[in-house]
């Protein structure tokens, strides 16, 4: 993932970067510099920005910043930023608009370059330039985290699922609430650590925000981590409206469906949406709800049939075999 399109004039000015002096370039040359690998949804941001703070050219828009890799920097998605490559720290949205002639481009740009030697260093520099006018929402950060992890957002759940909230409910995820420092980069760690489970769940047929709320997603990820592909039958059954009853008693899927109806009534949501009653309330309430869902899952996995209202809540950390000393953050 080196900067193959990096203009020659940038290669021959290496000494200028070491001293962090500035240089001038054109809009076209700046466009050839590699985007930050975790850059948010630039197109969506650009369409809003061109109506507000990027409505017209201002002197400050002529200044941009880049990082130069001092060494090869490996990325979570398996790619590598080669030593010597340049990466945009800001100016992504402006570059997008200039290239499409949606914003008048300046004749020349002034570029300041900083040396970086790790992904953490690169991300820190990038975050410094994420200013108030381009502040990231949780969704923006999730888009960037997916890009870093090499996950294609090409299914309804991967595009619209409540991944940020779900990861906060997963113990040891490294994201705030799930264990970890709770910094803005927590979602990057969480998505990288749970990449395989996220892809498995996100590509499950019928999975969407209408069938899987944040709490259902968190519980599903946990069961996939613990039981692997064996957990899929439960979630396929949930999405496919499955469940069995015998003599007035129900299996785990039936219990979860009964719980959903109770919660929908409490939330006042439309019953046509399977996940409508789930995922409401405080973080603590959502954690408890994940435990209820795991209780239904365990009941189903064990083949037990009980009264519909009999649901045993299971602590997510206990379900994962984590102890108080366990710390994945």
Query: Does the global pTM surpass 0.85?
Result: no
Q: Which of 93, 115, 134 is where one domain is finished?
A: 134
- What is the per-residue pLDDT for 300? 87
By CB atoms closer than 10 A (0-12, 13-18, 19+), residue 20 is exposed
Considering the domain architecture, whether residues 117 and 57 belong to the same structural domain is answered as yes
Number of independent structural domains in the chain:
2
Residues near 12 by Cβ (< 8 Å), separated by ≥ 6? none
CA-nearest of 63, 152, 119 to 127 is: 119
- What is the per-residue pLDDT for 276? 67
- What is the per-residue pLDDT for 143? 86
Q: Is 16 among the domain residues?
A: yes
Considering the domain architecture, whether residues 90 and 156 belong to the same structural domain is answered as no
Q: Which of 134, 162, 178 is where one domain is finished?
A: 134
User: Which one-letter DSSP state was computed for residue 64?
Assistant: E
Walking along the chain (329 residues) 10 residues at a time, the average pLDDT comes out as: 39 38 84 89 82 79 90 91 93 92 90 89 79 57 87 92 92 64 69 94 93 94 96 93 63 86 60 64 85 92 69 88 54
Q: Are 122 and 71 in contact (CB under 8 A)?
A: no
- What is the per-residue pLDDT for 206? 93
Q: Which of 89, 115, 134 is where one domain is finished?
A: 134
Considering the domain architecture, whether residues 50 and 162 belong to the same structural domain is answered as no
Q: Is 257 among the domain residues?
A: yes
Q: How far apart (Å, rounded) are the C-alpha atoms in residues 273 and 194?
A: 27
Considering the domain architecture, whether residues 15 and 88 belong to the same structural domain is answered as yes
Range of the domain at 172: 140-319
């Amino acid at each position: 993932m080196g900067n193959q399109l990096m203009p020659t004039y940038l290669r021959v000015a290496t000494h200028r970067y070491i001293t962090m002096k500035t240089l001038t370039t054109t809009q076209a040359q700046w466009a050839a510099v590699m985007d930050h690998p975790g850059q948010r949804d630039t197109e969506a941001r650009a369409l809003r920005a061109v109506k507000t703070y990027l409505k017209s050219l201002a002197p400050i828009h002529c200044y941009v910043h880049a990082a130069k890799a001092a060494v090869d920097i490996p990325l979570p998605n398996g790619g590598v930023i080669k030593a010597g490559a340049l990466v945009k720290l800001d100016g992504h949205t402006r570059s997008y608009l200039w290239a499409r002639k949606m914003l008048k481009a300046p004749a020349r740009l002034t570029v300041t370059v900083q040396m970086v030697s790790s992904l953490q260093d690169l991300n820190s520099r990038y975050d410094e330039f994420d200013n108030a006018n381009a502040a990231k929402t949780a969704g923006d950060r999730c888009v960037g985290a997916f890009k870093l992890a090499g996950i294609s957002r090409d299914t309804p759940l991967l595009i619209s699922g409540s991944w940020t909230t779900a990861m906060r409910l997963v113990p040891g995820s490294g994201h705030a609430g799930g264990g970890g420092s709770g910094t803005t980069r927590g979602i990057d760690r969480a998505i990288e650590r749970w990449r395989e489970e996220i892809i498995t769940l996100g590509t499950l047929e019928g999975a969407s925000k209408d069938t899987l709320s944040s709490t259902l997603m968190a519980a599903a990820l946990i069961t996939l981590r613990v039981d692997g592909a064996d957990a899929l039958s439960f979630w396929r059954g949930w999405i496919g409206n499955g469940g069995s009853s015998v003599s007035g008693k129900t299996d785990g899927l039936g219990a979860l469906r009964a719980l959903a109806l109770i919660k929908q009534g409490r939330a006042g949501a439309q019953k046509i949406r399977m996940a409508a009653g789930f995922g409401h309330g405080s973080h603590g309430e959502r954690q408890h709800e994940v435990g209820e869902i795991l209780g239904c899952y365990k009941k189903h996995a064990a083949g037990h049939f009980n009264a519909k209202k009999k649901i045993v809540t299971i602590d997510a950390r206990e379900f994962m075999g984590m102890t108080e000393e366990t710390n994945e953050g």
